Amino acid sequence: MSEFVDGFDTLERLPPAVTVFGSARTGESDEMYAAARGVGAALARAGLTVVTGGGPGIMEAANRGAFEEGGRSVGMNIVLPMEQEPNAYQTDELVFEYFFVRKVMLVKYARAFVIFPGGFGTMDEFFEAMTLMQTLKVRPFPIILFGSSFWAEPVRWIREVMCERFKTVSESDLSLFHLVDTTEEAMTLVRRALDGTYETTLPSVIGTAARETGEGTRRGVHPRRATNHAPVAPEKPAQKTLGHFRAD
C-alpha cells in the first residue's frame, strides 16, 4: 500500500507523462540509445514528464534526454537481483519491490508509450498495455514502437499469424500500435494524444462502465450481475480523447 501511495503522490502532481520502455542492455554507442535520448529531449521540450523504469540502457537514455533539457525525468526503479542500477538522470526517483505496483504506475499516468527494442520485460509491458486497451479497461492511447529494424518481424507475426491465420486478435486491435523510425513521427502521435485527435477503431464504452477506478482502469460490468451489458458505441473510427469519455 505504501508503494501505491508514494507513486500516486509523486506522479499526480507532475505534468502529463509519456512512458518510455526498452532494454537495460543497450549501450551508449547504440543508435537506439541516441534515438531514445532524442525522444526524451523532445518530450521534455514539449513540457511532458518522461517516465521510465529508472535503470540503464534505453531507460537511462530517455531520462538523460529529458534531464539535459531541464524537464521532469521520473525513474520507477525495481528491486532486482541484477541489472537494475538506477541511472543518474532522474529528477524524481521511486523504488518498488512489487512489479504489479510498478506496472500500475507506468500505465496510470501515461498519455502514450514509446517502446524501443527490448527483452521480455519490454514485451510484457507492450502486450499488457494492448490487453488493457483491447478489453476496454483503459482508454486507448498511442503505443509507439520505435525502430522498424527490431519491430518489423514481431508486427508481421501479430498481423499474419495472430490476426489472419489463427484469428486470435481482431483487425481493429492492430490499430493500437504504431511503428515509427523518427522522433518526429513519435511526437506527432504524442501530440494527437494530447490534443484529443488520436483515433483507434475500437468501440467506446459509455455510462457507469466507463468510470475510472482508483488504479486507473475502468469499472466495467460485473460478470455475475443480472445486468450484464455495458453500453458500447459501434466499432468504428472514433476519437479517443484522453480524459474525455462519457460517464453518467
Which of 59-68, 74-83, 220-229, 231-240: highest mean pLDDT? 59-68
Average pLDDT estimate for 32-57: 98
Q: Are 174 and 223 in contact, with CB atoms under 8 Å apart?
A: no
Is position 238 within any domain? no
In a domain, 174, yes or no: yes
Helix axes 120-134, 99-108, angle to 10 degrees: 60
Is 227 within 8 Å of 248 (Cβ atoms)? Answer: no
The span from the CA of 161 to the CA of 246, in Å, is 35
- pLDDT at 83 (0 to 100): 65
Is residue 140 one of the residues assigned to a domain? yes
Query: In 3-state terms, what secondary structure has residue 62?
Result: helix
> How high does pLDDT run on average in the chain?
91
Contact partners, residue 79, CB within 8 Å, separation at least 6: 95, 96, 97
Confidence check: pLDDT of 244 > 70: no
pLDDT at 109 > cutoff 80: yes
Residue 159 has pLDDT above 80, yes or no: yes
Over residues 129-135, the mean pLDDT reads: 95
Domain residue limits at 10: 2-198
Summarize the confidence of residues 151-174 as an average pLDDT: 97
Would 212 be classed as within a structural domain? no
Report yes or no on 39 lying in a domain.
yes
pLDDT over 70 (residue 51): yes
pLDDT at 180 over 80: yes
pTM: 0.91
> At 58, which CATH number?
3.40.50.450
Q: Does position 245 have pLDDT exceeding 60, yes or no?
A: no
Residue 218 forms part of a structural domain: no
Nearest of 106, 97, 16 to residue 59 by alpha carbon: 106
Select the more confidently predicted residue: 236 or 54: 54
What is the spatial distance between Cα 221 and Cα 15, in angstroms, rounded to a whole number?
Answer: 32
Tracing cell 476519437 back to the chain, one arrives at: 239
Q: Is 104 inside a domain boundary?
A: yes
Domain count, the chain: 1
pLDDT tens per residue, range 196-206? 999 999 888 88
- Please indicate, yes or no, if residue 206 is contained in any of the structural domains: no
